């Protein structure tokens, strides 16, 4: 019988993946650091750190920017769901959401996609997303929104969940104030299943949505995003209507159009934490 040799190079290549899958602490640290290293990061809410200031409970921003989100939840369930090892915020579909009010012109969430400090120019834009589970396939819900879905003149950007249409897809929406574009993700969303949903805007080029690594693209001539007065909300529209029913973890917002390779890498680096 031939002697089997230990392939040290292969072991080295596989070790990081095995650690992510079977060592929760390593998987968690890997997922958090992957988000914190994103260029143009405006906010990152893994739903793991919460504080109470004067009786107001907040989901802490781990991007280091201090953009904490105020919890206006009828009840809060914070903890892993299903096969996930990561904490998540639960939204009951009625009175739960996280909000940071718009404070006027040039606020942190007012991403136009034309920020001059972003170089090269090809990286200007917006990227946002999260890991999520939906528990309802019957309604139009806001997932991450700076949009009330009421008038494009005052709607900026959003990820919606469309349980009210065939295929129950996630959608990514962008508005210039005069025109808007929406790209629809993969059909077949199921309840109780974790999805990595990411939307990206490339000015004058495309709006894209990824669902567990599967990309859908829609061309657009929109050159910039309108600076609206809508609040930034997770778990509902900016108007706090159309409340989401499900779980959200690892939510992030970037003032940059992340490259395809970086979005795919983010999915691969975090999927083990959600049993995918």
Ranges assigned E (strand) in the chain: 41-45, 50-53, 56-59, 69-71, 89-92, 98-100, 126-134, 140-146, 157-162, 170-175, 180-184, 195-202, 206-211, 214-219, 232-234, 245-254
Looking at the domain assignment, is residue 116 inside a domain?
yes
Looking at the domain assignment, is residue 1 inside a domain?
no
pLDDT of residue 19: 53
**Tally of structural domains, the chain:** 1
Strand partners, 130: 197
pLDDT band at 158 (very low <50, low <70, confident <90, very high): very high
Model confidence pLDDT, tens digit, residues 215-274 = 999 999 999 999 999 999 999 999 999 999 999 999 999 999 999 999 999 999 999 889
Model confidence pLDDT, tens digit, residues 25-45 = 778 888 999 999 999 999 999
Range of the domain at 85: 8-274
Looking at the domain assignment, is residue 119 inside a domain?
yes
Looking at the domain assignment, is residue 264 inside a domain?
yes
Looking at the domain assignment, is residue 236 inside a domain?
yes
Q: Is the pLDDT of residue 103 over 60?
A: yes
Model confidence pLDDT, tens digit, residues 90-102 = 999 988 999 999 8
Which of 35, 44, 48 minimizes the C-alpha distance to 64? Answer: 44
Q: Is the pLDDT of residue 177 over 60?
A: yes
Looking at the domain assignment, is residue 266 inside a domain?
yes
Mean pLDDT score across all residues of the chain: 89
Looking at the domain assignment, is residue 48 inside a domain?
yes
140: left (phi over 0), alpha (psi -120 to 50) or beta: beta
pLDDT (average), residues 178-201: 96
pLDDT of residue 20: 52
Q: What is the CATH number of the domain that holds 255?
A: 2.60.120.200
Looking at the domain assignment, is residue 2 inside a domain?
no
pTM, two decimals, is 0.89
């Amino acid at each position: 019988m031939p002697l089997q040799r230990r392939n040290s190079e292969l072991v080295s290549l596989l070790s990081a993946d095995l650690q992510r899958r079977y060592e929760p602490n390593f998987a968690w640290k890997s997922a958090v650091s992957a988000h914190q290293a994103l260029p143009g990061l405006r906010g990152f809410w893994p739903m793991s750190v919460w504080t109470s200031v004067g009786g107001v409970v907040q989901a802490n921003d781990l991007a280091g920017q201090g953009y904490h989100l105020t919890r206006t939840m009828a009840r809060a369930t914070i903890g892993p769901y299903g096969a996930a090892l990561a904490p998540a915020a639960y939204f009951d579909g009625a009175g739960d959401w996280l909000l940071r009010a718009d404070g006027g012109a040039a606020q942190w969430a007012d991403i136009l996609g034309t920020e001059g400090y972003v170089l090269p120019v090809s990286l200007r834009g917006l990227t946002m997303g999260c890991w999520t589970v939906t528990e309802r396939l019957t309604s139009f819900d806001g997932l991450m929104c700076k949009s009330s879905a009421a008038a494009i003149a005052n709607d900026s950007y959003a990820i919606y969940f469309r349980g009210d249409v065939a295929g129950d897809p996630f959608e990514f929406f962008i508005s210039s104030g005069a025109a808007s574009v929406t790209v629809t993700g993969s059909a077949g969303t199921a309840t109780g299943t974790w999805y990595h949903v990411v939307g990206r805007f490339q000015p004058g080029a495309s709006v894209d949505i990824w669902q567990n690594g599967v990309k859908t693209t829609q061309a657009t001539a929109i050159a910039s995003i309108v600076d609206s007065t809508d609040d930034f909300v997770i778990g509902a529209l900016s108007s706090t209507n159309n409340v989401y029913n499900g779980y959200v973890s690892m939510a992030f917002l970037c003032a940059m159009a992340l490259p395809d390779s970086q979005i795919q890498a983010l999915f691969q680096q975090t999927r083990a934490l959600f049993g995918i």
